[in-house]
């Protein structure tokens, strides 16, 4: 269930957190999520509600994205959650503490909002119904964003595979054409070599054999246009 909360694109998550003015929650881990699961109370607050009030990223230690994050915020503790708003760290959750969940909700504003909603419901039931309807819409939007993100990732992967297949096809076609051209060139070279080795045939039109022993010789050359020299 937790996987649905995390964004896949770091750049998109940062941009959305800035545009929406919400906390960017960066979960740093060494792949083992036992620390987070030990205190994360998903039953108290739905993932949709968390997605409304914060943008979540999961960075694995020693990956390229983790190293880039560590360049901005050195000495990143693992495991931990960095809660960042407008480029500044508001809270770092790390180690063992029974109040991790409470601190998380307080920082991203869910706890305070719940208290305000409780007071409003008591004084204005109509407002409570409107706010409930609004929350339902936000939950739906959060689910839709997650679904859209998943579809976008799948679409990009399909386009990538299609592009690779097309490039491979073009590469094979180029190789086949080059092979044909090379074979043709070799055949032409071979034929020219055979023609050069043939002796030249000389044809004469002397019908009187006695003239072959004459001391004088007259040459008559016929041109290709039929004229003679």
Give pLDDT tens digits for 192-203.
766 665 555 555
The predicted-structure confidence for 26-71, as pLDDT tens digits, reads as follows 999 998 889 998 999 877 788 888 888 999 999 999 999 898 888 8
Q: What confidence tens digit (pLDDT) does each residue in 67-101 have?
A: 888 888 889 999 999 999 988 899 999 999 889 99
Report if pTM > 0.85: no
Neighbours of 91 (CB within 10 A): 16
Phi, psi angles (nearest 5°) of residue 83: -100, 115
- pLDDT band at 115; cut points 50, 70, 90: very low
Position 113 scores a pLDDT of: 44
**Stretch 134-155: mean pLDDT, rounded?**
69
The answer for residues whose C-beta is within 8 angstroms of residue 178's C-beta and 6 or more apart is none
Query: What mean pLDDT is reported for the chain?
Result: 79
Give the pLDDT band (50/70/90) at residue 123: very low
Query: What is the C-alpha to C-alpha distance for residues 37 and 54, in angstroms, rounded to an integer?
Result: 18
Of the pLDDT bands very low, low, confident and very high (cuts 50, 70, 90), residue 147 is confident
pLDDT at 138 exceeding the cut of 70: no
| Residue 122 tokens, joined | 């008591």
- Nearest-CA neighbor of 6 among 29, 19, 18, 21? 29
Lowest mean pLDDT, pick from 41-45, 55-59, 115-119, 225-229: 115-119
From CA 54, how far away is CA 58, in angstroms rounded? 13
Which of 124, 27, 23, 107 is closest to 66 using CA atoms?
Answer: 27
How does residue 119 score in pLDDT terms, banded at 50, 70 and 90?
A: very low
| Percent share of the chain, pLDDT over 90 | 24
Contact present, 90 and 7 (Cβ < 8 Å) = no
Domains of the chain: 2-158 (3.40.30.10)
DSSP 8-state assignment for residue 77: -
Q: Which pLDDT score is estimated for 122?
A: 47
pLDDT digits (tens, 9 = 90+) for 167-188: 998 999 999 899 889 988 888 8
pLDDT score at 114: 44
């Amino acid at each position: 269930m937790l996987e649905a909360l995390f964004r896949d694109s770091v750049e998109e998550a940062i941009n959305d957190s800035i545009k929406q003015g919400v906390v960017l929650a960066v979960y740093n881990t060494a792949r083992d999520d036992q620390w987070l699961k030990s205190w994360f109370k998903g039953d108290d607050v739905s993932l949709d509600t968390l997605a409304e009030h914060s943008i979540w990223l999961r960075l694995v230690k020693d990956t390229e994205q983790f190293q880039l994050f560590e360049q901005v915020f050195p000495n990143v503790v693992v495991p931990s959650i960095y809660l960042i708003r407008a480029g500044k760290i508001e809270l770092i959750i790390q180690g063992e503490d029974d109040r991790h969940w409470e601190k998380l909700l307080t920082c991203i504003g869910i706890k305070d909002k719940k208290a305000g909603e409780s007071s409003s419901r008591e004084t204005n039931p109509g407002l409570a119904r409107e706010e409930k309807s609004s929350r339902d819409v936000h939950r739906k939007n959060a689910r839709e964003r997650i679904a859209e993100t998943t579809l976008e990732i799948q679409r990009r992967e399909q386009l990538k595979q299609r592009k690779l297949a097309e490039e491979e096809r073009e590469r094979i076609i180029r190789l086949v054409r080059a092979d044909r051209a090379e074979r043709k060139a070799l055949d032409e070279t071979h034929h020219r070599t055979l023609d050069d080795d043939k002796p030249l045939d000389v044809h004469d039109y002397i019908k009187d054999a006695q003239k072959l022993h004459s001391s004088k010789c007259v040459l008559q050359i016929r041109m290709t246009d039929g004229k003679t020299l």
